Amino acid sequence: MQRYRTRCLGAGVLGMAVSAIGAVSNSEQFFRSYLQAYLFWLGIALGCLAIAMLHHLSGGAWGLIIRRLLETAARTLPVLAVLFLPIVLGLPSLYEWAQPAALAHDKILQHKTPYLNVPFFLTRALIYFAAWILIARFLSKWSLQQDRTADPSLSRRLELLSGPGLVVYGATMTFASIDWVMSLEAHWFSTIYGLSFMVGQVLGAFAFVIALVIWLSSRKPFSELISPSHLHDLGKLLLTFVMLWAYMAFSQFLIMYSGNLPEEIPWYLRREDGVWGWIAIVLILFHFVLPFLLLLSRDLKRSGGKLLKVALLVVFMRYLELSWLISPTSRSPGGLHLWLDLATMTGVGGLWLAFFATQLKGKPVLPLHDPFLEAALEHGKE
């Protein structure tokens, strides 16, 4: 693990160095590329936090096998809070409502000023991160405390936190998606945008954790714990969220199409123009149709190698969708700046993965004294 952590850290530093060159040569595109990369990795962390809370409420063998990985991803939120600083510096480059000149000539933006203004934006961001970090801290603290003390009452405490925690996650992420992404085009709005964004985060987190579990299953002690039954359960959940993501995306499109309002349609027109139209087709085919058809197979879901490929495909599609959501709003010539997208993705991702590996080191791979652990391991032998 030390070797991989060093490599990730090196890649992260190199990616940030190349990104800095992009920031000098094209600051607007740098901030847009950075926002895409940042939201991708933040989505993994927050999606893992949401999945951990879902498991505490629902139970099941599937969650006990991946709980330590979910908690580890959630513990990276303090680092992600620090990595939010470039977005703060780039507010005028990213958002028209943060530009006094644009605001002075736009009555719609002026109408939204009580909400869309820099001080209130930063205050809300501070509240979001405080809430997420606090929930993640207590979930991890009580889970690890159960390992040390074997206190069964801690399971109930984790359950009681997870219910309100999911409500807080839903509320904060709804507003965060509006603040950080939807307000890139402040004239446009969608009433299901926040929910769609959260479903995408959970889908991406499931795909990431499944890929990580399969990778770790070739190494002890995971090789002695992970079974086809566990992979089958995780594959079914991945299929569920693939379908839910498609439902949310289609519902938003159908509402906009049937309404045919001039303040809504341009959002889709920009994403159907040129290369973005082809990317939309790729998302339909490879973010929904292909994963859906493949995950219907019971044999595929029980095969680590095949399920790994589907999970990695979904992870890549999650980033491509974020690019499709964010990049068409760019005012830079060309619209596509792949080298800068790759540099920021590598920079943020390398640093995040290095910290993830640091947090994972030295922790038990399973919740050792969870009351349902034995049943979860027995489930794997079926």
- What pLDDT is attached to residue 334? 47
Q: Which residue has the tokens 């030390």?
A: 2
- What pLDDT is attached to residue 4? 83
Per residue in 14-65, pLDDT (tens digit) is 999 999 998 888 888 899 999 999 999 999 999 999 999 999 999 888 888 8
CA–CA distance, 266 with 47 (Å, rounded to integer): 30
Q: How far apart are the first and last CA of the chain?
A: 31
CA pseudo-torsion sign 234, 239, 244, 250: positive
Phi-psi map region of 83: left, alpha, beta (phi>0 left; psi -120 to 50 alpha): alpha
CB distance 67 to 143 below 8 Å: yes
Per residue in 328-338, pLDDT (tens digit) is 877 554 445 78
Is the pTM of the predicted complex or chain greater than 0.85? yes
- What pLDDT is attached to residue 120? 97
- What pLDDT is attached to residue 332? 56
Mean pLDDT across the stretch 187-216?
94
Angle 319-176-135 (CA atoms, 0-180°, nearest 5)? 95
Task: Give the pLDDT band of residue 380 (cuts 50, 70, 90).
Answer: low
Per residue in 309-355, pLDDT (tens digit) is 999 999 999 999 999 999 887 755 444 578 899 999 999 999 999 99
Query: What's the 3-state SS for 101-157?
Result: HHHHCCHHHHHCCCCCCHHHHHHHHHHHHHHHHHHHHHHHHHHHHHHHHCCCHHHHH
Q: How many CB atoms lie within 10 A of CB 85?
A: 9
Higher-pLDDT residue of 121, 219: 121
